[in-house]
Amino acid sequence: MKPMDVETFKEVYKKRFEDVYAIQYHMGSTLEQFQVLGQVLRGYYTDYWIENNQEKIDNQDKQVYYFSMEFLPGRQLKTYLLNLDVYDTVKTGLTDLGLDFDKIVEAEVDPALGNGGLGRLASCFMDSMASTHVYGNGCGIRYQYGLFKQKFIDGYQIELPENWLRNPNPWEVRKESKSVIVRFGGNVWLEEQKDGKLKPKYEHTFDVLAVPYDTPQIGYRNGVVNNLRLFSAEIPYDEESKYITSEQRQEVNSITEVLYPDDSNYEGRLLRLKQEYFLSSAGIQTIVRYFKNLKLPWTRFPEKVAIHINDTHPTLCIPELMRILLDEEDLTWEQAWNISKKTFSYTNHTILQEAMERWPVYMIESLIPRIAQIIYEINARHIRNKTELYGSELAYKTAPIQDDQVLMANLAIISSHSVNGVAKLHTEILERYTLSDFKTIYPFRFNNKTNGVTHRRWVQLANEPLSQLLDKTIGEEWRFQPKEMRLLRSYIDDESVLDQLQQVKLTNKKRFAKFVSEQMNIEIDPHAMFDVQIKRLHAYKRQLLQVMHIIDRYLQLRDNPEAKLAKRVFVFGAKAAPSYYYAKQIIKLINALADLVNNDPRINDMIKIVFVENYSVSLAELIIPAADLSEQISLAGKEASGTSNMKLMANGALTIATLDGANVEISNLVGPDDIFLFGMKADEVQVLRDSHAYNARDIYERDPQIQRILNSLIDGTIPGIKSEGIDIFNSLVTDNDEYFLLKDYHSFYQAQMKVDINYANKKSWTQKSLINIAQSGKFSADYTILRYASDIWNVAPETEVLQQF
């Protein structure tokens, strides 16, 4: 890449500032300073971007299209600077100019175009594809409002709109000329053509223009620039007159107005279905247009294009491609089906039944009638073929249409060539239980791809002190090859490295403590253990188990302020889906408990609770480097993988965990001494559930420790909670504790006591922390992407690049 020196940067920056704002640069606001920096950088990378796009066409390299309804990119500025290798130049330049680099960084909005793990994974993957030379194109929706902004009022979660586009976004490029029309509703029928072929005819359709906005995805110091394409719904220009009423205009705009704020429950809502088809159709049309430019026969489509479906949300891509191949390109069903099957692959991210998407057939029929016809045909052919081979029972059980509903996972599985889970245990559960019928029919279709995270964002940028220590200790190769972090292992007895590692942690904890003091008015001691649980609020993730533990400690300390317990700061970050009443009650409970505990002089500051408002990628970047303990305590068998577990580990936090999701792999990597495991295993949970022998009330009645904790929910110990305490109590005792908190509590408590004892020994704790950091490189999303590339997409980059990894 062409080098950029500090002096030139300063000149360019000053000049650009004056051109844009007609004032001197130091008179501008930080927002203006950020905007100009964005423009300067754009001038720097667009050459590569143009070159890359041209190369794609010239070389006809196979393209991967990653369809996701969610991307959670976080702020882009630092990633661009790092990956373009101009981080130091720009930082020094701006500082020389008397500007505040950190403030400028913070002026960028953090686009919350995702709910949680799935969206963040998509963004890590975008970064990794570019960095490993995989030609990957993200396809998503440019929601005008991202995930709601969370506020706590009187301890309750309130949702406010998140207008992330209120300021111009310097990275995106509107590509109006690449817009396509997406057709909804109306009537469709098949009409015989002169040549005897049947072609669909449409009337009274509702047409929407899908306008792409492209954002570059820059590889790490390698000159690669990929593309993230987000579509926005607009009124077609030449159809302006057709949309006369304001309701109709609103109907168009609403399609990409807001991200659906849920990560688990998909009750049938028309708007969400519209969004799914909008993305699928716009994306597929764009791909088809690209392929047609290559002037190759259709049979070669799968050689040039791989389409990945991130969870079932974009599954309508499949019938949409079929529609185009059949209706517009005149292929036969068999030809179209063959092409389509070789092209699509699908990742499953959950086994929670309530999160498995189902759409009533009538909704699909009225919203996208031609697509409904194609799904019927896929269904009919599946049943016919599979009945012949496997008998009708299996054929019907795996069919995409059941009980007048379209089961999106079934549609995705039967129409793809690859189905993967996101951690070893998750894939095993899919194969053995959730999707076992499919496994019988398609034994080779399933594979595992354990999730990963990008160390560029989560270590290099979020944790500069640690990165510098790594450079100094093991050299810089880890920045390209995160696996090389394993070299740190040999410093396990090096007092100086251990001391420095402690200093790094302390620095990060002080930074977070400052934020907490300034923003939340809570004083926390950076020498206390920072015990962190950051993830969406969901019953299966069991934030409530941690709440029980905190109440337990609090009551012990109140009885005996001298009790031998470690001083801890409990950090929570979590949003609850607005309609998820129980999760919102738990939020209120945590806030009420925080009020009580943080202000009770009797316990001597031995416990503080910090529940950060509006948890986001940016907050994660602040919290994770400061964490000592990572809480990964979901009921075994429920968390598909988890990714905060990997980020926290990479930043030297020790994990307390059930053997769930990727925790299993973390545990195997670090060994039993460097992780705190507890609780039932997934198969034990299964046996207990199947036996119907679980009796939570019985545990409550016989177990004084648990009884005392639970009573505090209903006896006024925690002021401020009213019905919440009673409802939560009932969920555990009366409604038999669906997620087995009471069953796992003692084992959890003992593990927490072991954590306390271990934390008291600074040296051995730091050694464990060092092991965790050293082993975390294996969870680099770069490796995960290379496995997708070679096993699923068949686009393994040149051997030269592979050897690097």
Interface residue with ligand AZC, options 630, 643, 712, 784 (CB under 6 A): 643
Q: Contact between 116 and ligand AZC (CB under 6 A)? A: yes
Name residues whose C-beta falls within 8 Å of residue 297's C-beta, 6 or more positions apart in sequence.
none
Number of other residues whose CB lies within 10 A of the CB of residue 560: 10
Interface residue with ligand AZC, options 4, 112, 317, 422 (CB under 6 A): 422
* CB-closest chain residue to ligand AZC: 117
Is residue 349 part of the annotated active site? The answer reads yes
Q: Contact between 33 and ligand AZC (CB under 6 A)? A: no
CB of 70 to ligand AZC, least distance (A): 6
Catalytic residue, chosen from 10, 323, 439, 647, is 647
Catalytic residue, chosen from 274, 349, 449, 509, is 349
CB of 541 to ligand AZC, least distance (A): 8
CB of 639 to ligand AZC, least distance (A): 5
CB of 121 to ligand AZC, least distance (A): 4
With beta carbons less than 8 A apart as the criterion, state whether 315 and 412 touch. Answer: yes
With beta carbons less than 8 A apart as the criterion, state whether 773 and 650 touch. Answer: yes
With beta carbons less than 8 A apart as the criterion, state whether 685 and 658 touch. Answer: no
Looking at residues 251 to 280 of the shown chain, list those that interact with ligand AZC (rule: CB under 6 A).
263
CB of 99 to ligand AZC, least distance (A): 37
Is residue 541 part of the annotated active site? The answer reads yes
Q: Contact between 661 and ligand AZC (CB under 6 A)? A: yes
Alpha-carbon distances, residue 547 vs 587, 594, 680, 749 (angstroms): 10, 10, 19, 12
Q: Contact between 311 and ligand AZC (CB under 6 A)? A: yes
Q: Contact between 642 and ligand AZC (CB under 6 A)? A: yes
Cα separation of 626 and 71, whole Å?
A: 25
With beta carbons less than 8 A apart as the criterion, state whether 413 and 356 touch. Answer: no
Structure tokens at 111: 């686009």
Q: Are strands 187-192 and 198-203 parallel, antiparallel or unpaired?
A: antiparallel
Catalytic residue, chosen from 62, 417, 439, 536, is 536
Element (DSSP H or E) covering residue 207: strand 206-218
Number of other residues whose CB lies within 10 A of the CB of residue 321: 27
**Going residue by residue from 342 to 381, which x/- string records binding to ligand AZC, judged by CB under 6 A?**
-------xx-------------------------------
Q: Contact between 62 and ligand AZC (CB under 6 A)? A: no
Q: Which of 804, 798, 35, 794 lies closest to 345, judged by CA?
A: 794
Using only C-alpha atoms, what is the Rg of the chain?
A: 27
Residue count, binding to ligand AZC (CB under 6 A) = 17
Q: Contact between 179 and ligand AZC (CB under 6 A)? A: no
C-beta of 80 vs 260, nearer to ligand AZC: 260
Is residue 289 part of the annotated active site? The answer reads no
Interface residue with ligand AZC, options 124, 640, 713, 771 (CB under 6 A): 640
Interface residue with ligand AZC, options 64, 113, 118, 414 (CB under 6 A): 118
C-beta of 115 vs 286, nearer to ligand AZC: 115
Candidates 196-204, 211-219, 573-581, 641-649 — which segment interacts with ligand AZC by CB under 6 A? 641-649
Element (DSSP H or E) covering residue 148: none
Cα separation of 420 and 429, whole Å?
A: 12
Cα separation of 766 and 762, whole Å?
A: 6
Element (DSSP H or E) covering residue 27: none
Cα separation of 632 and 641, whole Å?
A: 10
C-beta of 645 vs 758, nearer to ligand AZC: 645
Q: Which of 586, 551, 543, 540 lies closest to 710, judged by CA?
A: 551
Is residue 647 part of the annotated active site? The answer reads yes
C-beta of 606 vs 640, nearer to ligand AZC: 640
Is residue 535 part of the annotated active site? The answer reads yes
Give the phi and the psi of residue 227 in degrees, each rounded to 5: -130, 135
Is residue 514 part of the annotated active site? The answer reads no
Dihedral sign, CA of 609, 612, 615, 619? negative
Catalytic residue, chosen from 457, 509, 541, 542, is 541
Element (DSSP H or E) covering residue 21: helix 6-21
Looking at residues 608 to 637 of the shown chain, list those that interact with ligand AZC (rule: CB under 6 A).
none
> How many CA atoms does the CB half-sphere of 32 hold within 13 Å?
15
Catalytic residue, chosen from 62, 120, 535, 553, is 535
Residues catalogued as catalytic = 349, 535-536, 541, 643, 647
Binding site for ligand AZC (CB under 6 A): 115-118, 121, 263, 311, 349-350, 422, 451, 639-643, 661
